[in-house]
A = this chain, B = another copy of it.
Amino acid sequence: MIELRPAPERLRAGLAPRSGMPEAAAVTAAVLRNLGRFATLTAEEAARVAALGATRRRWRPGALLAADSGASGAHFVVSGWACRQRVLRDGRRQIFDFIVPGEGFGFEPLPLGPQSIVALTPLETVAAHGLMDGGPASADGLWRALQAARVETCARRQDHMLRLGQLTAYERASHFLLEMQWRVGAPDPRSFPLPLTQEAMADALGLSVVHLNRVLRQLRAAGLVEIRGGVAVVRDAVALAQAAVLPLPGKAAIAGC
Protein backbone atom coordinates (compact mmCIF):
# COMPACT_ATOMS: atom_id res chain seq x y z
CA MET A 1 0.00 0.00 0.00
CA ILE A 2 1.38 3.38 -0.97
CA GLU A 3 1.27 6.11 1.62
CA LEU A 4 0.83 9.74 0.80
CA ARG A 5 4.01 11.64 1.48
CA PRO A 6 3.74 13.95 4.51
CA ALA A 7 4.50 17.60 4.05
CA PRO A 8 8.20 18.34 3.79
CA GLU A 9 8.43 20.56 6.85
CA ARG A 10 7.48 18.33 9.73
CA LEU A 11 7.87 20.35 12.83
CA ARG A 12 7.32 23.69 11.22
CA ALA A 13 3.58 23.38 10.98
CA GLY A 14 3.15 26.08 13.59
CA LEU A 15 5.01 28.52 11.39
CA ALA A 16 2.46 29.95 9.06
CA PRO A 17 3.78 31.81 6.04
CA ARG A 18 2.20 35.23 5.82
CA SER A 19 3.31 36.74 2.60
CA GLY A 20 0.78 39.29 1.48
CA MET A 21 0.87 41.55 4.52
CA PRO A 22 3.02 44.48 5.52
CA GLU A 23 5.97 43.06 7.43
CA ALA A 24 5.33 44.56 10.87
CA ALA A 25 1.70 43.51 11.05
CA ALA A 26 2.42 40.09 9.58
CA VAL A 27 4.59 39.19 12.53
CA THR A 28 1.83 39.64 15.06
CA ALA A 29 -1.03 38.31 12.97
CA ALA A 30 -1.40 35.23 15.17
CA VAL A 31 -1.53 37.39 18.29
CA LEU A 32 -4.30 39.51 16.86
CA ARG A 33 -6.23 36.45 15.82
CA ASN A 34 -5.89 34.96 19.29
CA LEU A 35 -6.83 38.11 21.20
CA GLY A 36 -9.73 38.58 18.82
CA ARG A 37 -11.18 35.36 20.16
CA PHE A 38 -11.73 37.07 23.49
CA ALA A 39 -12.62 40.65 22.67
CA THR A 40 -12.88 42.95 19.68
CA LEU A 41 -10.00 45.37 19.51
CA THR A 42 -10.12 48.94 18.31
CA ALA A 43 -7.92 49.94 15.38
CA GLU A 44 -5.70 51.81 17.80
CA GLU A 45 -5.30 48.73 19.98
CA ALA A 46 -4.57 46.50 17.00
CA ALA A 47 -1.92 48.95 15.88
CA ARG A 48 -0.38 48.87 19.33
CA VAL A 49 -0.13 45.07 19.10
CA ALA A 50 1.26 45.21 15.58
CA ALA A 51 3.96 47.60 16.78
CA LEU A 52 5.30 44.82 19.00
CA GLY A 53 6.51 43.12 15.83
CA ALA A 54 9.65 45.22 16.02
CA THR A 55 10.81 43.31 19.08
CA ARG A 56 10.78 39.94 17.37
CA ARG A 57 13.19 37.38 18.69
CA ARG A 58 14.02 33.88 17.46
CA TRP A 59 14.63 30.71 19.45
CA ARG A 60 15.56 27.20 18.55
CA PRO A 61 13.92 24.03 19.82
CA GLY A 62 14.90 23.34 23.40
CA ALA A 63 15.67 26.98 24.17
CA LEU A 64 14.76 28.18 27.63
CA LEU A 65 12.43 31.16 27.26
CA ALA A 66 11.91 31.82 30.93
CA ALA A 67 12.99 30.16 34.14
CA ASP A 68 11.66 29.65 37.61
CA SER A 69 11.07 33.03 39.08
CA GLY A 70 10.65 34.29 35.55
CA ALA A 71 10.69 38.03 36.00
CA SER A 72 11.58 38.14 32.33
CA GLY A 73 8.46 40.08 31.46
CA ALA A 74 5.47 39.38 29.30
CA HIS A 75 5.82 37.99 25.77
CA PHE A 76 3.73 36.62 22.95
CA VAL A 77 4.64 33.62 20.87
CA VAL A 78 4.08 34.67 17.28
CA SER A 79 5.11 31.41 15.65
CA GLY A 80 6.09 27.94 16.80
CA TRP A 81 5.11 26.09 19.95
CA ALA A 82 6.41 26.17 23.51
CA CYS A 83 5.43 24.60 26.82
CA ARG A 84 5.55 25.16 30.54
CA GLN A 85 7.17 22.26 32.28
CA ARG A 86 8.92 20.96 35.33
CA VAL A 87 11.60 18.28 35.38
CA LEU A 88 12.42 15.90 38.22
CA ARG A 89 15.89 14.75 39.14
CA ASP A 90 15.33 11.31 37.70
CA GLY A 91 14.31 12.76 34.35
CA ARG A 92 10.55 12.53 34.59
CA ARG A 93 8.96 15.69 33.30
CA GLN A 94 5.47 17.09 33.50
CA ILE A 95 4.30 19.50 30.86
CA PHE A 96 1.70 21.78 32.42
CA ASP A 97 0.54 23.52 29.30
CA PHE A 98 1.41 24.21 25.71
CA ILE A 99 1.77 27.69 24.28
CA VAL A 100 0.59 27.97 20.70
CA PRO A 101 1.14 30.81 18.22
CA GLY A 102 -0.70 33.93 19.32
CA GLU A 103 -0.69 33.06 23.00
CA GLY A 104 1.40 34.80 25.61
CA PHE A 105 3.32 34.02 28.77
CA GLY A 106 4.78 35.95 31.65
CA PHE A 107 1.68 38.07 32.19
CA GLU A 108 1.33 36.90 35.76
CA PRO A 109 2.54 39.69 38.00
CA LEU A 110 4.17 37.21 40.36
CA PRO A 111 6.58 34.32 40.14
CA LEU A 112 4.75 31.11 39.37
CA GLY A 113 7.03 28.66 41.06
CA PRO A 114 9.51 26.10 39.85
CA GLN A 115 8.47 25.90 36.24
CA SER A 116 10.28 26.80 33.07
CA ILE A 117 9.11 27.75 29.62
CA VAL A 118 10.81 25.88 26.82
CA ALA A 119 10.60 26.05 23.04
CA LEU A 120 9.41 22.83 21.41
CA THR A 121 9.86 23.96 17.81
CA PRO A 122 11.69 26.82 16.12
CA LEU A 123 10.04 29.77 17.73
CA GLU A 124 9.51 33.49 17.44
CA THR A 125 8.39 35.79 20.23
CA VAL A 126 7.71 39.47 20.67
CA ALA A 127 7.88 41.40 23.92
CA ALA A 128 4.62 42.72 25.32
CA HIS A 129 6.20 45.68 27.05
CA GLY A 130 4.17 48.81 27.19
CA LEU A 131 1.06 47.13 25.88
CA MET A 132 -0.97 48.32 28.80
CA ASP A 133 0.70 51.67 29.29
CA GLY A 134 -1.90 54.13 30.42
CA GLY A 135 -3.80 51.57 32.49
CA PRO A 136 -6.82 49.44 31.67
CA ALA A 137 -8.93 52.43 30.72
CA SER A 138 -6.77 53.40 27.79
CA ALA A 139 -7.09 50.02 26.11
CA ASP A 140 -10.25 48.41 27.32
CA GLY A 141 -10.50 45.77 24.63
CA LEU A 142 -6.91 44.66 25.09
CA TRP A 143 -7.30 44.50 28.80
CA ARG A 144 -10.45 42.42 28.59
CA ALA A 145 -8.89 40.09 26.05
CA LEU A 146 -5.84 39.47 28.20
CA GLN A 147 -8.00 38.95 31.25
CA ALA A 148 -10.22 36.50 29.43
CA ALA A 149 -7.20 34.66 28.11
CA ARG A 150 -5.92 34.26 31.63
CA VAL A 151 -9.24 32.92 32.80
CA GLU A 152 -9.27 30.42 29.97
CA THR A 153 -5.80 29.32 30.91
CA CYS A 154 -7.05 28.58 34.40
CA ALA A 155 -9.94 26.57 33.03
CA ARG A 156 -7.54 24.62 30.87
CA ARG A 157 -5.43 23.77 33.89
CA GLN A 158 -8.44 22.31 35.60
CA ASP A 159 -9.30 20.28 32.56
CA HIS A 160 -5.76 19.04 32.54
CA MET A 161 -5.92 17.97 36.18
CA LEU A 162 -9.11 16.12 35.49
CA ARG A 163 -7.52 14.41 32.53
CA LEU A 164 -4.50 13.34 34.54
CA GLY A 165 -6.47 12.19 37.55
CA GLN A 166 -9.57 10.59 36.14
CA LEU A 167 -9.42 9.83 32.43
CA THR A 168 -8.05 6.72 30.79
CA ALA A 169 -5.24 7.02 28.26
CA TYR A 170 -7.70 6.78 25.38
CA GLU A 171 -9.93 9.46 26.86
CA ARG A 172 -6.96 11.66 27.70
CA ALA A 173 -5.63 11.61 24.19
CA SER A 174 -9.03 12.31 22.68
CA HIS A 175 -9.73 15.16 25.02
CA PHE A 176 -6.31 16.65 24.50
CA LEU A 177 -6.64 16.58 20.74
CA LEU A 178 -10.04 18.25 20.91
CA GLU A 179 -8.65 20.98 23.12
CA MET A 180 -5.83 21.59 20.71
CA GLN A 181 -8.15 21.73 17.75
CA TRP A 182 -10.22 24.31 19.52
CA ARG A 183 -7.21 26.37 20.59
CA VAL A 184 -5.35 26.40 17.35
CA GLY A 185 -8.47 27.25 15.41
CA ALA A 186 -7.31 26.41 11.91
CA PRO A 187 -9.26 27.65 8.89
CA ASP A 188 -10.11 24.09 7.89
CA PRO A 189 -12.04 22.52 10.79
CA ARG A 190 -11.08 19.03 9.66
CA SER A 191 -7.38 19.40 10.40
CA PHE A 192 -5.04 21.52 12.44
CA PRO A 193 -1.28 21.88 12.99
CA LEU A 194 0.12 19.81 15.84
CA PRO A 195 3.89 20.08 15.70
CA LEU A 196 4.52 18.05 18.85
CA THR A 197 6.57 14.94 19.26
CA GLN A 198 4.80 12.01 20.83
CA GLU A 199 7.23 12.35 23.68
CA ALA A 200 6.00 15.87 24.41
CA MET A 201 2.38 14.79 24.30
CA ALA A 202 3.15 11.82 26.52
CA ASP A 203 4.85 14.04 29.08
CA ALA A 204 1.84 16.33 29.08
CA LEU A 205 -0.67 13.52 29.41
CA GLY A 206 1.24 11.58 32.02
CA LEU A 207 1.71 8.53 29.78
CA SER A 208 4.71 6.66 28.46
CA VAL A 209 5.63 7.38 24.86
CA VAL A 210 5.06 3.78 23.92
CA HIS A 211 1.58 3.67 25.32
CA LEU A 212 0.61 7.01 23.82
CA ASN A 213 1.76 5.68 20.48
CA ARG A 214 -0.52 2.66 20.84
CA VAL A 215 -3.44 4.84 21.87
CA LEU A 216 -2.91 7.09 18.86
CA ARG A 217 -2.88 3.99 16.69
CA GLN A 218 -6.22 2.97 18.22
CA LEU A 219 -7.66 6.39 17.49
CA ARG A 220 -6.40 6.12 13.95
CA ALA A 221 -7.75 2.60 13.51
CA ALA A 222 -11.12 3.66 14.90
CA GLY A 223 -11.25 6.40 12.30
CA LEU A 224 -11.43 9.24 14.81
CA VAL A 225 -8.27 11.18 14.23
CA GLU A 226 -4.92 10.79 12.55
CA ILE A 227 -1.64 12.58 13.19
CA ARG A 228 0.83 12.75 10.37
CA GLY A 229 3.62 15.08 9.57
CA GLY A 230 2.85 17.55 12.33
CA VAL A 231 -0.77 17.84 11.30
CA ALA A 232 -3.77 16.27 12.99
CA VAL A 233 -6.63 15.24 10.73
CA VAL A 234 -9.99 14.87 12.45
CA ARG A 235 -11.97 12.19 10.66
CA ASP A 236 -14.92 11.90 13.02
CA ALA A 237 -15.36 14.91 15.26
CA VAL A 238 -18.52 13.58 16.90
CA ALA A 239 -16.99 10.27 17.88
CA LEU A 240 -13.88 12.07 19.07
CA ALA A 241 -15.88 14.34 21.34
CA GLN A 242 -17.70 11.33 22.66
CA ALA A 243 -14.45 9.57 23.45
CA ALA A 244 -13.23 12.68 25.24
CA VAL A 245 -15.89 12.39 27.99
CA LEU A 246 -15.43 16.00 29.09
CA PRO A 247 -17.02 18.99 27.47
CA LEU A 248 -14.52 21.63 26.45
CA PRO A 249 -14.53 25.19 27.73
CA GLY A 250 -16.05 26.20 24.45
CA LYS A 251 -18.65 28.61 25.66
CA ALA A 252 -19.76 29.59 29.12
CA ALA A 253 -17.58 27.06 30.85
CA ILE A 254 -14.80 29.05 32.40
CA ALA A 255 -12.87 28.55 35.59
CA GLY A 256 -11.29 30.82 38.13
CA CYS A 257 -7.82 30.38 39.54
Contact-residue bracket for chain A: 35 or more
Q: Which residue of B lies closest to A156 (CB)?
A: B113
- Contact B255 A118, beta carbon cutoff 8 Å: no
- Contact A63 B245, beta carbon cutoff 8 Å: no
- Contact A256 B205, beta carbon cutoff 8 Å: no
- Contact B246 A155, beta carbon cutoff 8 Å: no
Closest CB of chain B to A9's CB: distance in Å?
20
- Contact B62 A256, beta carbon cutoff 8 Å: yes
Closest CB of chain B to A249's CB: distance in Å?
4
Q: Which residue of B lies closest to A255 (CB)?
A: B113
Interface membership of A206, Cβ < 8 A: yes
Interface membership of A5, Cβ < 8 A: no
Residues of chain B lying within 8 A (CB to CB) of residue A257: 57-60, 63, 108, 150, 153-154
Contact A205 to B165, CB < 8 A, known contacts A113-B158, A113-B253, A248-B114: yes
How far, in whole Å, are A108 and B154 apart by their CA atoms in the complex? 11
Within 8 A of B (CB), among A137-162: 147, 150-151, 153-155, 157-158, 160-162
Within 8 A of B (CB), among A52-103: 57-60, 62-64, 67-69, 85-94, 96
How far, in whole Å, are A115 and B162 apart by their CA atoms in the complex? 11
Instruction: Return the contact of A247 from the options B58, B86, B119, B254 (Cβ within 8 A).
Output: B86
Closest CB of chain B to A201's CB: distance in Å?
12
- Contact A87 B250, beta carbon cutoff 8 Å: yes
Residues of chain B lying within 8 A (CB to CB) of residue A160: 161
- Contact A154 B113, beta carbon cutoff 8 Å: yes
Residues of chain B lying within 8 A (CB to CB) of residue A255: 63-64, 111-115
Q: Which residue of B lies closest to A108 (CB)?
A: B256
- Contact A161 B158, beta carbon cutoff 8 Å: no
- Contact A206 B248, beta carbon cutoff 8 Å: no
- Contact A250 B63, beta carbon cutoff 8 Å: no
Instruction: Return the contact of A151 from the options B60, B110, B116 (Cβ within 8 A).
Output: B110
Residues of chain B lying within 8 A (CB to CB) of residue A119: 256
- Contact A256 B111, beta carbon cutoff 8 Å: yes
Q: List 15 A-B contacts (CB under 8 A).
A: A59-B256, A63-B255, A63-B256, A64-B256, A85-B250, A88-B247, A89-B248, A91-B252, A112-B154, A112-B255, A114-B155, A115-B249, A115-B250, A165-B205, A166-B206
Q: Interface of A with B (CB < 8 Å)? A: 57-60, 62-64, 67-69, 85-94, 96, 108, 110-116, 118-119, 147, 150-151, 153-155, 157-158, 160-162, 164-166, 203-206, 245-257
